[in-house]
Structure 1
Amino acid sequence: MKPKNLIIVLAITEQGLTPAEAATRFSVSRQWVHTLLTRYHTEGPAGVAPRSKAPLSRPGRTPQIIRERIIALRTELTGKGADAGPATIAWHLTREGHPTPAISTIRRILHSAGLITPAPKKRPRSSYIRFEAELPNECWQADITHWFLSNGTRVEILDFLDDHSRYLIDIRAAATFSGAAVAETLHELIDHHGPPMSTLTDNGLVFTTRFARFKGSKGGFEKLLDTYGILQKNGRPGHPQTQGKIERFHQTLKRFLSAKPRPETMPELQQMLSEFRNWYNTRRPHRSLGSRTPEEAYTALPKATPTGAHATEWRSRTDKVDRHGSVTLRYAGKIRHLGIGRGNAGLPVLMLIHDRNVTVSDLNTGEIIGEYTIDPAKDYQPKKPS
């Protein structure tokens, strides 16, 4: 069977049809008939064979060297446990001075190389309702996750994340974190970065005592927030989505740690966490920040400051003076010793606590024995001068 183009030409050259008659018979334009005749007389039958409609050149096609760099970046970043999506690869290409294709083009290149696994059921980012603080230090999210040393020992990791910029304020490891240790960490961060306007945590006892089985004084974390007038926010129990940013942050952290050998010691793990903090804050572009790094976003605007009023605490406690002449009181997550005097050993007493002020009286007679103003930096608390 001869191709249609050749039949048109033969109808003219062999059967004597005019170009106009051939155009009418075969339902083509006269211009096309003349084009076929020119090709036939110049190139013979091969000249009228169907030709590809693809352009002879593709000026918009991504150069091979860029395609290879895209694939290499994907492999390198994945091997380091870092983000390796199309947007991140585009950021790295720009930083390296390469011409940067569109993110959709990078995605197609990765698909063609078999480096992206389709996930049609994955929930699109646009479907999430996002809440974000407007200024740095407007809200710090804090949480504790865990990791394992090479011998299987489970350790805890405490982190503080700025809600506005995703700046990793601090990350540190310990066998376990007590309420006092968490409060001390917060105090260090306030000294270095200034107090945040608010904090957002879950309802762990190191952050809040509101769900404690036995109600007592506020924990050290809560007491420190009260001292600075910082608003405390806690997620609804059983609803981790409230702390969604720090939950997703933990995924990034563990992907980074999983790409490396398990640390043998706690100092080795802390070194890995310090490396992660530097990379996360200064060398990792964040999509929600317009491809800026968290450090760039954290330093771009003035920092928010606390606006809340100091929360007043009223409570009471009974105790018996020990043989050393002291009674104990928990304040800001730590046990404090109030000096009563050895002559009162064994005496039952009542303590009335108003914030840092404590009045101690004989439980039986009501006689006031001493008044105290708690110094949070000290364990032993002497009586106020009479």
Structure 2
Amino acid sequence: MSHANAALTPRARLRLARLVVDAGWTYTTAAKMFMVAPKTAKKWADRYRAEGTAGMSDRSSRPHKSPTRTSPDTVRQIVRARWRHRLGPVQIAGRLNMPASTVHAVLVRCRINRLSHIDRVTGEPLRRYEHDHPGSLIHVDVTKFGNIPDGGGHRFVGRQQGLKNRAGTPDRPQSKHRNPLLGTCYLHTVIDDHSRVAYAEICTDEKAITAIGVLRRAVDWFNDCGVTVERVLSDNGSAYVSRAWRNACGELGIVHKRTRPYRPQTNGKIERFHRTLADGWAYARLYTSETERRAALPGWLHFYNHHRAHSAIGGKPPLTRLTNLPGHHT
């Protein structure tokens, strides 16, 4: 495609050049027909003689030499400051005594101008991975939400009314603190690495025996979807480092892998799912009781798996990646 200010397209250049070279037209006559300068007609005719049809396409306007371009050593200093200290163009420019616009141009050229492209902990570029088929790896974790008092929580009804609702909710745990407690909702989550299909259960604790039960039911659920689970990735929580968890994985024929300590990014898919879960279900609207919120979870999971567009898989719902679903191709 020719650039926006080009007077001639590649097809028009070829017609002009052929009139001059093949038909014997003068530069002036051919230029007048295409409403360009004779010098332009001569340029395309000479290029047609030398390169043929291929010479009619646009060439890069970048100069062969750029003596004032930022030196490679300075570029390395800019990139190092960006990676290690997560500094912006103004701060880096102050350290290196150079214009901030130059620093920004270097960051754009190196594709690290946005901090979202850099790991928050190490400062290194993000390394994303994805297993090549469903069931090759599933991620497991537990996330916690405070139970909702009868009448609604403070996020929707305000702090003062929220405290009144907490105090008036029956069957709540005894509290030694000033503010009444409502207990915790332990949500055990499982997500397939390739498809992002999710499975979740609300439990009363995060003990090993509970996590093992969730894993067994999740494996059966994935089997019903035509997916055979091969590996499971977890963090280093007490439930997942226990001997019971290891034995359960062995019985199910699943290889257990754990993330590096203090490195939640390795399990980033399920961590990101927890944020989506909080925004789309846990705190999406006013729930007048914990029972009402828990009753809404199955419907939201169905929406997430079957209908919600997922940006990481091309804007399609996760279930579309399970190509081995029973009856999928009928």
TM-score w.r.t. the length of structure 2 is 0.48
TM-score, length of structure 1 as denominator length: 0.42
